[in-house]
Structure formats: structure tokens, C-alpha cells
Amino acid sequence: MAATMHAFANGAELARNLADKVAASLSAAIDTRGAATLAVSGGSTPKLFFQELSARDLDWSKVTVTLVDERFVPADNPRSNHLLVADNLLQNKAKAANFLPLYQAAGSVEDAAKLATRETASIGNPFDVAILGMGGDGHTASFFPDGSNLKVALDPMTPRGIITMEADGAGEPRLTFTFSSLQDAKLLVLHIEGESKKDVLTKAESAGDEAEMPIRAILRRAASPLEIYWAP
């Protein structure tokens, strides 16, 4: 599907506009079927967007929020995406939302992935909204170049659910939704900021291997049109 670029003057303007778009999508889902689902990413980029969205007026008690991916660390770890979302998104009006974490206190990351797959199966599919980020190496979710389970994670035949990922660029072992879980979200967003990320995206849009720049899998094969939100 073709991607659409939405460019903004700065991060604050982007955060406001993206919050408006996501709130409208969640509200429409609630109107249609009485519930809405939102998968978000970690990193420093979405903080301002999370804070904007947390103040939006919708029936948050009918919204289930989960993570696109997570590090295999407890929720009180400073590197936890759960902590980032709790501190920035699950505030204000959005405190009423239901949150489904990916991290599970299991003996291994593989066991945690099985538990998280079971826990998140109740969400239903596709997601109403999935918001992806992108690293300077072209990774998105925890689809890292040379990741341990990258081929399986990107295979469209791999079932929906959570898979483990280890890679040099990942730090801790990761838990990530598979490509099949994310690629058909009703609103599929790539949220990036900075000229360097725009350069990475331009490179990813050229010919090349998905294993080298896994964001290419989303750009080339997602069933939903990708909405790119960018500011310098």
C-alpha cells in the first residue's frame, strides 16, 4: 500500500495533530462496536504525543492500550516501555484506559512471549490504531536487522501474537508483536522526527533487503496504508 507523508513544523504541532487523528479513530471504533484498541511504541519520540493524547476527551474506559514491543525488563525499570506509557499516556483522562503489558514475570523471555500472546489474544484484531517508531538502523517494533527471530517475525504466515527478539542493537531481549499482528491496523502510523530519520526512511524506500532495514516490510507489504507523521 502507498504511504502518505504528513509533515509538520515541529514536534509539538505533530503531537497535537497525531493526537487528534488517533482520538478520532478511537472514538469512531467505540461508536461502532463499543470498544477500541491502541498499540503504541516506546522511545523518546512519542512522549509529547502521549501527553497530548492523554488529555483528549473520549470514553477511555472502553479503550485497551498495549505495546507494539517491550524490553524483557520489569515495569519499574527505567528502560521499560510500560513505564514510559504509564508516566506519559495513562494520565489525565486516559487514566481510565485498560492497559495490557507485554512483559510477564516469567523465567525466560520465551515463556513471557507465550504468556503475553495469551493475554493479548483477548484484544481482538485488527488493532484500531497501531503507532510504530523507527530506529536509525531501520528497525521498527523489535524487528532488528540480524535479529534472532527476524525472518519468522516478518513472515506474513506467522500467526498474530508475541515473538521474542535478540539483536546486537536491541540491548535486552525483546518481546514484539509479529508483522501479521500490526500490518492491518485500521490506522497504521509511523511516527518519526528529525532530518536523520527522514534520511533513513528515504533509504528504506529504495531497493534493498528487508532483513537489512526491516521497516521495509511495513512500507512494502502492510495491508493498511501507512500514515507517516514527521517533524524536523
- The upper half-sphere exposure of residue 3, i.e. CA atoms within 13 Å in the direction of its Cβ, equals 25
Q: Say if residues 187 and 193 touch (Cβ distance below 8 Å).
A: no
39-52 tens-digit pLDDT: 999 998 999 999 99
For residue 209, give the nearest of 146, 131, 141 by alpha carbon: 146
Share of the chain above pLDDT 70, in %: 100
CA separation, residue 66 to residues 44, 115, 117, 151, 184 (Å): 17, 14, 12, 24, 16
For the whole prediction, is pTM greater than 0.75?
yes
pLDDT category, 214, cuts 50, 70, 90? very high
What is the pLDDT at residue 22?
98
Q: What is the mean pLDDT of the segment spanning 197-203?
A: 97
Mean pLDDT of the chain: 97
Is residue 8's pLDDT more than 80? yes
Domains of the chain (ranges, CATH numbers) = 3-231 (3.40.50.1360)
Share of the chain above pLDDT 90, in %: 97
pLDDT category, 169, cuts 50, 70, 90? confident
d(CA 172, CA 166): 7
70-118 tens-digit pLDDT: 999 999 999 999 999 999 999 999 999 999 999 999 999 999 999 999 9
Q: What stretches of the chain adopt beta strand conformation (E)?
A: 3-7, 36-40, 63-67, 69-71, 98-100, 129-132, 162-165, 174-177, 187-193, 226-231
What is the pLDDT at residue 1?
64
Is residue 68's pLDDT more than 70? yes
- The upper half-sphere exposure of residue 96, i.e. CA atoms within 13 Å in the direction of its Cβ, equals 13
121-152 tens-digit pLDDT: 999 999 999 999 999 999 999 999 999 999 99
Is residue 2's pLDDT more than 90? no
For residue 143, give the nearest of 190, 100, 98 by alpha carbon: 190
What is the pLDDT at residue 142?
98
Q: Is the peptide bond before 74 cis (omega within 30 degrees of 0)?
A: no
Residue at 155: amino acid letter: D
11-34 tens-digit pLDDT: 999 999 999 999 999 999 999 999
Q: What is the mean pLDDT of the segment spanning 179-207?
A: 97
